[in-house]
Structure 1
Amino acid sequence: MAEPVRSDPSMWAAVAVDPAVPIDRAVVRKIIADQRRLSRRWLYPLARPFSRVVVALISAVKRVLPFRWMPLATMDALCIWYLRRFVSPDAVELLIRHFVIETNLVNFVLRNTDAAIPPVTLRPVSLAELGDHAVVEHDVNVYDVLIALDGVPLAPPSPPARLDFAELDIPPIDAERRRLRLLRLDIQTALCVMNIPFSMALTMEEYRRAVHSMRFDDSFLEILAVLCDDDTFRHWKNGELTVWMDSNVDVPRMVYRHALICEYAHAHLVKLAAGADAAATEA
């Protein structure tokens, strides 16, 4: 009896060509390369529980000593130094890229609604630009936009009006690839470490606000689905309830998933923009 044909496919090869992933293939390859780093396999399983325990202890003590343990400027400087010396350039690029992508997403919402606030300007292209409280500003922007949408009708534009797809570009990012690094950690392990000074520098309320901002991913996906009249955005919802207040979560994991959701949504917007441009050209 003939032996059945046995296939031995690579998980990574399948992920790299998954047609359901809208992200640009070059970016997908960087994400895969980052997840295949040795630090992701060997250090992340240790860094993940260590980070949660340390942050839980910090949070417990902060209930008794509820003040800022570290100036925000010190946190910024410490994280930038850490990213320059211990995190892989690809991971650094993906991290900086996330700030730009999230700004592009919230500005798309602002441009296509009557929200009465100016566009967000946080679009760093280098590690140095992650200073000046960029991490905190990036979280605050989410709240500012959602609050500005209170009472604003959400609906796709009526013809002949068109959606404004301006400024969805990603500028060249300087991840300081030529800088000597002592380690080249993956982004998930890096996030576990950075969560510790983050929890020290922020007040309890600021930390809760930052963590809770990621529960609004579903809200923004719904807003994008309504504005674009496209259910695709709804497929990436996680079922998070914004009225459920709970900061005792795996923050680095939430941050990583949040970044991927933003990548998916942004890539789909870029696809819609290309389709709109093609339709306008034909017309």
Structure 2
Amino acid sequence: MKTAPDFVTEAHDPQDPNPWLALYLDRSTPLPEPIKRAWLADSSSRARQYLLPFLRPLARLCIVLVQVVKVFTPRKLAFSKALHRLLAWGLRNFLRPEANWLILRHFHLGSQSLAFIAANAPVAVPTAGLFPQTIDDLADEVFLKHDLNLFNFVIRLNKAMNEVGASLAPVAEPDFSMIEEPSVRLEDMPRRWTNLIDLQSGIELFTPVYQLFLSDSDFWRATNSLQLDETIGIYVATLLNAREHLILVNNRHPLVPMSTLRAGFRLTLHGLSTEMLHAFLVQQRELQTQRCGQPEGM
């Protein structure tokens, strides 16, 4: 398998410019180079170009059919452990290395973002971090726990602030101690000949499976957790007094739930928003380090 995507190695042709090269070279977003390269390598893959257009309508049809089946089954019926074992097997055997790396990173970044808010909030609020090191670690119901952690955090934070009449406010010297580069590495991801499916196609493929194996409430909560991207972004922006950066975290208004049919696309957007938010936190941490290292009076 090639180590560099075509848009990096091919010469620029002004008569036929590569759109992926333009996105790769653009610096208007704060994504670090390795993340942007992996994201665009996955997005520009042949699987996404040729497989996704067929998978997406079929996946959405399956979501409708599964919803019909769910009408006639017990509402609490769920097989979470079996689902996560199946997901881990599918990721390990069929997803591209870049896709698997970005998925594992996502849980680390989400945990760090919640820990940052908790550390800088005016009240004490517990967090439950998820830091899977391998694809097999995901079998421990990590996807479901990720959604539960997000909702529980928002509820606990706001209940605690309401009880003492407090609210989030800009912090002069924020605590960035939890913000770091995840320990998972791209080179450790599986690279079999079957690891060909891109991130978006994989998400579209797994979404109806996720719906089938989980209860209605678990699936609804999972898809609508995506509405909280702006909520978390607002929390961070408030603490850092930097609301102008919310343009990078956009998954529609949290009070307007969207149809589960678009869950696959919104999950992809959620992953990118999380990477953007973490990159912004890293930038702010580095700026604070530079300020602290300057002599007084400068």
TM > 0.5: yes
1:180-195 → structure 2 map (5 Å cutoff): 180-195=192-207
Shift of the alpha carbon at 1:232? 3.3
Residue 174 of structure 2 corresponds to which residue in structure 1?
Answer: 163
Q: Which residue identity is paired with 1:63?
A: V
> 2:183 aligned to 172, 183, 188, which one?
172
Q: Which residue identity is paired with 1:172?
A: S
Any conservation in 2 of the 1:125–1:171 contact (CA below 8 Å)?
Answer: no
Q: Which residue identity is paired with 1:196?
A: P
Residue 168 of structure 2 corresponds to which residue in structure 1?
Answer: 154
Q: Does 2:48 correspond to 1:40?
A: yes
Residue 133 of structure 1 corresponds to which residue in structure 2?
Answer: 141
Residue 227 of structure 2 corresponds to which residue in structure 1?
Answer: 215
Shift of the alpha carbon at 1:239? 6.5
1:1-283 → structure 2 map (5 Å cutoff): 7-67=15-75, 71-150=79-158, 151=162, 152-158=166-172, 162-173=173-184, 176-178=188-190, 180-238=192-250, 240-283=252-295
With over 3 angstroms needed to count, the CA separation of the structure-2 counterparts of 1:164 and 1:90, relative to structure 1, is same
Which deviations, in whole Å up to 9, do the C-alpha atoms of 1:211-243 show, x marking residues without a partner?
111001111111111110012332124372322
Any conservation in 1 of the 2:97–2:189 contact (CA below 8 Å)?
Answer: yes
Cα distance in 2 for residues equivalent to 1:281 and 1:78: 49
Cα distance in 2 for residues equivalent to 1:246 and 1:135: 20
Shift of the alpha carbon at 1:245? 3.3
Cα distance in 1 for residues equivalent to 2:148 and 2:20: 35
Cα distance in 1 for residues equivalent to 2:120 and 2:15: 49
Cα distance in 2 for residues equivalent to 1:13 and 1:72: 40
Identical pairs, percent: 25
Any conservation in 2 of the 1:40–1:188 contact (CA below 8 Å)?
Answer: yes
Cα distance in 2 for residues equivalent to 1:179 and 1:8: 31
Q: TM-score w.r.t. structure 2 length?
A: 0.87
Cα distance in 1 for residues equivalent to 2:179 and 2:157: 21
Q: TM-score w.r.t. structure 1 length?
A: 0.91
Cα distance in 2 for residues equivalent to 1:119 and 1:149: 10
Out of 227-236 and 273-282, give the one that drifted further.
Answer: 227-236
Q: Alignment partner of 1:250: what SS?
A: helix
Cα distance in 2 for residues equivalent to 1:93 and 1:217: 21
Shift of the alpha carbon at 1:174? 5.2
Out of 228-237 and 182-191, give the one that drifted further.
Answer: 228-237
Shift of the alpha carbon at 1:183? 3.9
Which deviations, in whole Å up to 9, do the C-alpha atoms of 1:161-196 show, x marking residues without a partner?
x10011211233156535534241101111111112
Greater helix content: 2
With over 3 angstroms needed to count, the CA separation of the structure-2 counterparts of 1:193 and 1:69, relative to structure 1, is farther
Any conservation in 2 of the 1:225–1:231 contact (CA below 8 Å)?
Answer: yes
With over 3 angstroms needed to count, the CA separation of the structure-2 counterparts of 1:178 and 1:63, relative to structure 1, is closer
Cα distance in 2 for residues equivalent to 1:178 and 1:110: 35
Aligned alpha-carbon RMSD (Å): 2.0
With over 3 angstroms needed to count, the CA separation of the structure-2 counterparts of 1:239 and 1:69, relative to structure 1, is closer
Q: How many equivalent residue pairs?
A: 276
With over 3 angstroms needed to count, the CA separation of the structure-2 counterparts of 1:237 and 1:83, relative to structure 1, is closer
Cα distance in 2 for residues equivalent to 1:279 and 1:205: 47
Q: Alignment partner of 1:249: what SS?
A: helix
Which deviations, in whole Å up to 9, do the C-alpha atoms of 1:131-182 show, x marking residues without a partner?
2110011111111111122124110124xxx100112112331565355342
Q: Alignment partner of 1:194: what SS?
A: helix
Q: Alignment partner of 2:124: what SS?
A: coil
Any conservation in 2 of the 1:208–1:247 contact (CA below 8 Å)?
Answer: no
Out of 170-179 and 44-53, give the one that drifted further.
Answer: 170-179
Gaps of 5+ in 1: 1-5
Q: Which residue identity is paired with 2:27?
A: P
Q: Which residue identity is paired with 2:242?
A: D
